[in-house]
Amino acid sequence: MELVADIRIPHDAAALETALGEARGAGADLIIVFAASANVDRGDVVPQAIEIAGGRIEHFGMPIDPGNLLVLAKLGEILVIGAPGCARSSSENGFDWVLRRILVGLEVAAHDLTGLGVGGLLMEIVSRPQPREAEPQDMHPAYAPRIGILVLAAGRATRMGGPNKLLAMLDDESLARIAARHALDAEPASVTVVTGHMAQEVGAALSGLDVSIVHNPDYAEGLSTSLKAGIVALPADTDAALVMLADMPHVTPEILQRLIEAYDPASGHLIIVPTVDGKQGNPVLWSKSYFPDLTAIRGDVGARHLIDSNGESVVEVEIGAAARLNVDTPEALAAARGRISPSK
C-alpha cells in the first residue's frame, strides 16, 4: 500500500465533502474516514458527506460487535469506508475483517457484510459476552465481587539515582509499607505485593503485615513482568484487581475504597480509572476478564493501551492530585518531606 493523503478536518459534513474530493484527486483507491463520533445512522456526518460528494451508500452497519457501525460506500469507483470506533483499537475487530479482504484484492459488497452474521457469529468482547455463555458470577447484581489489591514494588528506582525509593521514609515509615498498609486498610479480599529489586529489604519493610509477597525474578525486564507475576499470584477466586504502585503514598484507603465501589460488572463498569482534573492516573482497577490481556503485555510498559482500546468499559473517578503523584525522583521525595538512608 501507499498512503497518498492524510487529511485532518472538523467533524462537519461540508469539510468532509471537500476532503473526499482532495483524496479522490490524490489518486486514492480506498478512502477510510475516522469520525470524531460513531456513525449512528444514514443521516450522520460521514454518510451524509459521501452522498453530498456524489457517492452512494452501499451498506450501513454489519452484524459484528465490535464493528457494527461501519459504513460501506462508493465514490465513483473508489471504495469509501466510514470506520467504526473500534478501528482505533489494537484488538481484533470487525473493521479488521473487512480491511483484510480489501487489501488482498477481494471485493467487499453489502452481501459480504450481511453474510458475516450467518449463524449469529458475533465477536465476543469483555463487556458484552456471548449470550450462550453462562453468566459470570460477578455479573449478577446481588453478588459482592472479590477485589484483590496488587501492589507493584519490584522496580529498580532508576530515576532516584541509586537508592531504592521504596525504602525511603515518610514519617518514619517506608514507602513500601505505607502502600501495603493503605491497601490493607481499604479492606479488600486480598493484598499481594510484588517484589524484585532488593526483595529481601523490601520484604523486611513489610514485616508483620497480612500481605502475600511474590518475587518477580524478571523485574529488570520492566513493569509488565511484575504485573504478570502479580496477576498470576492472585487468589483463584479474585474477580478484579486494583493495581497499585508502591511509590504513591498519598493514595489513601479512602481513595482505594472509592475505586472499588465504582466497579460494577452488571453495568459494564469493568475498568476503573482515577483522574485528576480529567487526566488519568493510578491505581487502576481491572476486571478478571482483562487478566489475559494484562499478562500478555511485554516490556517496560503498563496497560494504558488497554484503557484506550476498551473505552466502553472504562469509568473515571476524580480523586485529585493523588492520582498522578509519584515519589520517583530525589526532588519528589524532598517535596514529600521524605528521607532515605545512604545504605538503602
In a domain, 133, yes or no: no
The domain total for the chain is: 2
Residues 131-146: tens digit of each pLDDT: 555 556 676 666 789 9
Residues 118-133: tens digit of each pLDDT: 765 555 666 555 555 5
Does pLDDT of 256 surpass 80? yes
Give the C-alpha separation, 16 to 22, whole Å.
10
In a domain, 5, yes or no: no
Which of 287, 282, 278, 24 minimizes the C-alpha distance to 16? Answer: 24
Amino acid at site 299: G
What percentage of the chain carries pLDDT values higher than 70?
Answer: 84
User: In sequence order, what E strands does 103-239 have?
Assistant: 147-153, 169-170, 173-174, 190-195, 212-215
pTM: 0.65
| Vertex 265: Cα angle to 261 and 268 (nearest 5) | 110
Q: What does the DSSP 8-state code read for residue 269?
A: B
Give the C-alpha separation, 133 to 34, whole Å.
33
Rounded to an integer, the average pLDDT of 177-204 is 96
Average pLDDT value over all residues in the chain: 87
In a domain, 297, yes or no: yes
- Cis, bond preceding 274 (omega within 30 deg of 0): no
Q: Which residues contact 204 (CB under 8 A, 6 or more apart)?
A: none
Which pLDDT score is estimated for 175? 92
CATH of the domain at 235: 3.90.550.10
Alpha-carbon torsion (48, 50, 52, 58), positive or negative:
negative
In a domain, 253, yes or no: yes
In a domain, 56, yes or no: yes
In the chain, the N- to C-terminal Cα span, in Å, equals: 55
- Within this chain, do residues 229 and 105 fall inside the same structural domain, yes or no? no
Higher pLDDT pick, 64 / 154? 154
CATH of the domain at 73: 3.40.980.10
- Within this chain, do residues 103 and 155 fall inside the same structural domain, yes or no? no
Q: What does the DSSP 8-state code read for residue 55?
A: -
Residue 335 — pLDDT band, cuts 50, 70, 90? Answer: low
- Within this chain, do residues 210 and 306 fall inside the same structural domain, yes or no? yes
148-162, 167-181, 243-257: least confident range:
148-162
- Within this chain, do residues 95 and 149 fall inside the same structural domain, yes or no? no
Domain boundary residue among 60, 81, 115?
115
Which pLDDT score is estimated for 342? 45
Structural domain range at position 19:
13-115
- Within this chain, do residues 106 and 147 fall inside the same structural domain, yes or no? no
Residue showing cell 528506582 = 157
- Within this chain, do residues 167 and 260 fall inside the same structural domain, yes or no? yes
Which pLDDT score is estimated for 294? 94
- Within this chain, do residues 185 and 220 fall inside the same structural domain, yes or no? yes
Give the C-alpha separation, 85 to 88, whole Å.
6
* Residue 49 β-bridge partners: none
Domain boundary residue among 115, 150, 169?
115
Give the C-alpha separation, 83 to 30, whole Å.
12
In a domain, 343, yes or no: no
| Vertex 179: Cα angle to 177 and 185 (nearest 5) | 100
Domain boundary residue among 115, 148, 176?
115
- Within this chain, do residues 144 and 273 fall inside the same structural domain, yes or no? yes
In a domain, 21, yes or no: yes
Supply 11's cell numbers.
Answer: 467533524
- Within this chain, do residues 110 and 143 fall inside the same structural domain, yes or no? no
Helix (H, G, I), strand (E, B) or coil at 32: strand
Amino acid at site 44: D
- Helical ranges in 156-297 per DSSP H: 175-185, 199-205, 223-233, 253-262, 291-295
Rounded to an integer, the average pLDDT of 56-69 is 90
Give the C-alpha separation, 44 to 94, whole Å.
20
- Within this chain, do residues 180 and 325 fall inside the same structural domain, yes or no? yes
Residue 187: phi and psi, rounded to 5, are: 60, 50
- Within this chain, do residues 77 and 179 fall inside the same structural domain, yes or no? no
- Within this chain, do residues 180 and 99 fall inside the same structural domain, yes or no? no
Q: Which residues contact 40 (CB under 8 A, 6 or more apart)?
A: 69
User: CB–CB of 148/189 below 8 Å?
Assistant: yes
In a domain, 121, yes or no: no
SS3 of the chain: helix, strand, coil, percent, to 5: 35, 20, 45
Give the C-alpha separation, 314 to 329, whole Å.
30
Q: What is the dihedral of CA 200, 204, 210, 214, to 10 degrees?
A: -10
